[in-house]
Amino acid sequence: MTIEAILKEDIQKAVQKHFQLDNQEIILQPTKKEFEGFYTFVTFALTKAARKAPAEIGQIIGDELVASSSLVSGFNVVQGFLNISLKDSTWLDLFDKIFSDETFGTLPSNGNSVMVEFSSPNTNKPLHLGHLRNNFLGDSLSKILKASGYDVVKTCLVNDRGIHICKSMLAYRELGNGETPESSGIKGDHLAGKYYVLFDIEYKKQIKALVEQGLSEEEAAKKAPWILEAQQLLLLWENNDPETVALWQKMNNWVYEGFAETYKKIGVSFDKTYYESNTYLLGKDIIEEGLQKGVFFKKPDNSVWIDLTEEGLDEKLVLRGDGTSVYITQDLGTTELKNSDFSNDRYLWVVGNEQDYHFKVLFAILKRLGRTYADGCYHISYGMVDLPSGKMKSREGTVVDADDLVGQMVQTASDRTQELGKIDDFNSDEAKQLYNQLALGALKYFLLKVDPKKRMLFNPEESIDFQGHTGPFIQYTYARIRSIMRKAEQAGIPAEVPGHSYAMHQAERELVFALSQYPVKVLAAANEFAPSLISQYAFDLAKVYNQFYAEVSIFSDPDPEAVKLRVALSGAVAETIRKALGLLGIDVPERM
């Protein structure tokens, strides 16, 4: 039983004893920093039933807790807020449990499974900054869910077909002159992206020429030669034209090799990858089933629709009149396939908020079809990432490529670290490893510390500050503690928890409390699908430790019990920081 659970029980007993109120909901919250105490119970909700003022209720409950609770040492009342302090024996017992538990923060299996689909790249361009937020969210969420007791499957759906892919193919066919990643020295996914940009340049020229000939811009966009050729290329691909399919396979293979290199660089992997080219036709059988059930209806042009106005949505096209699929058709089929492959309890899609409506429609259709897994489907919607220079646009070549950004971050980490003179005794391999750890730590932390639903501005310079709300600040705190632990080991000082006669320093109590919140934050982050809660926790823990480090002496205290406890506390904090950053996909350096 946790401290919070026992304390709630003691408060409940006090409420029943003094006010004859049973089964009251007892909610505890951390005490605000400006007041003494660690847990706060708000008494306002009891005023009507108890017929007393909030402060008086707090005083009565506080007196009872001091008299009868095995945990409570004192309290103070501020209006309707009862701030509770705990006995040192309580903190020492709590820390002893944390210190001796190697699995601290990892919850037991809850018997449920979850699939997290993320990344969803297109094979006409490399991964960019927006993809990085997606990948880091999906990967971190998978780790958090696993730590909270779920069996997790990580999947990726690659968008490898469609008109956008054919645009790159057409530009390469017309302008490529046999260029390859090997001949050009350009990474495969970047090479495909190059031709996607070249298509857009030529397409705009053609539109402009047609407008000058008297067409409206809308007509010109539909009649430009290259858009017509790209549409023809898509039809050839759908009809398995050998030459078209061969070009598609060649360019896609270049892209897959490039993706694999980037995924390895950023530390992201998948248990299974689905490809749109294999799944885009799967939904047609489901459409036929829905027609027979009366879930869908046909219009005079033979197109198939569903009326979702009862759900607050619109009518939605699910199959064109010529029998070709739309995106929702594919998603229905792919979701059915995923459930057939894994039969998970939950299915999560990490996709930008521009697709919010799409997923509302998808989930509504699945429910109408009576799919038992529909209630377990969730869209993890996230905001776009902007740069100081503005919004990114792939077709105009104004995106920040993931590879380029990681490279720039590594260089910035190198420059900052050398400026601070922190690695004078590192060899070249050690320095290279540190630069990579700091660069990815800065990048991942900056993109994950913001609530996923919020649009955000990415500032590379700010992200790698060693003193700010950043990954490198937390990594540096970890490395500092590891240095302390090596010093303790060399001096033969054991990490031990003293007996109940030990009088704790307030900074030690603060640290134990901060440590105790880790499992709470893991569960909250899993329930809310919010890695930002873990990001904030890691930062707060590092700050509390640095305050502890400033207020107490670890090695020169005359009390050997204090030295042993502080070494033990330091080790526990380092391990918890390592675990918390690990849930964000961030590695920690042993020294800096």
Mean pLDDT in each 10-residue stretch from start to end of the chain (592 residues)?
Answer: 90 96 91 93 94 96 96 96 97 96 95 97 92 96 98 97 96 97 97 96 97 96 97 94 98 98 97 94 94 97 97 96 90 96 98 96 98 97 80 52 90 86 81 94 96 88 88 96 97 96 96 96 97 98 97 96 98 98 97 88
Predicted local distance difference test score (pLDDT) of residue 464? 86
Distances, alpha carbon 85 to alpha carbons 38, 55, 500, in Å: 6, 17, 16
| One-letter-per-residue 3-state SS of 132-189 | HHHHHHHHHHHHHHHHCCCEEEEEEEEECCCHHHHHHHHHHHHHCCCCCHHHHCCCHH
In the chain, where the domains are located? 3-86, 113-291+326-350
Q: What is the pLDDT of residue 469?
A: 95
For 431-446, b/e burial (b = at least 16 CB within 10 A) is eeebbbbbbbbbbbbb
Residue whose token pair is 């969210």: 137
Distance CA 478, CA 589 (A): 8
For residue 227, give both structure tokens. Answer: 């858009």
CB count in 10 Å sphere of residue 29: 10
Task: Give the helix ranges, DSSP H, for 491-530.
Answer: 506-516, 518-528
Tokens linked to 61: 């409950």
What pLDDT, on the 0 to 100 scale, is given for residue 152? 98
Q: Which two tokens stand for residue 23?
A: 């089964």
Nearest C-alpha neighbor of 4 from the set 57, 41, 44: 41
According to the model, what pLDDT value does residue 422 have?
Answer: 66
The 10 Å CB-count burial string (b at 16+, else e) for 309-331 is eeeeeeebebbeeeeebbbbbbb
Residues contacting 586, CB < 8 A, separation 6+? 437, 440, 441, 444, 445, 471, 475
Is 449 exposed, middle or buried, given 0-12, 13-18 or 19+ CB atoms closer than 10 A? buried
Closest CA to 160 of 75, 78, 274, 81: 274
Question: pTM of the full predicted structure?
Answer: 0.92
> Which residue, among 505, 558, 517, 568, has the nearest Cα to 541 in the 3D structure?
517
Bridge partners of residue 113, in order along the sequence: 151
How far is it, in rounded angstroms, from Cα 162 to Cα 344?
A: 29
**DSSP assignment letter at 102:** T
Q: What is the DSSP code (8-state) at residue 45?
A: G
Judge contact between 72 and 84, C-beta under 8 A: yes
Tokens 């495969």 -> residue:
188
End-to-end CA distance of the chain: 39
Distance, in Å, from the CA atom of 277 to the CA atom of 433, rounded to the nearest integer, reads 38
Q: Identify residue 533 by its one-letter amino acid code.
A: L
Same fold, 3-86 and 113-291+326-350: no
Domain 113-291+326-350 carries which CATH code?
3.40.50.620
Both tokens of 144, joined, read 């958090």
What architecture (CATH level 2) is domain 3-86?
2-Layer Sandwich (3.30)
The tokens 């060649």 sit on which residue?
250
Q: In this structure, are strands 72-78 and 81-86 parallel, antiparallel, or unpaired? A: antiparallel
Q: Are 134 and 93 in contact (CB under 8 A)?
A: no
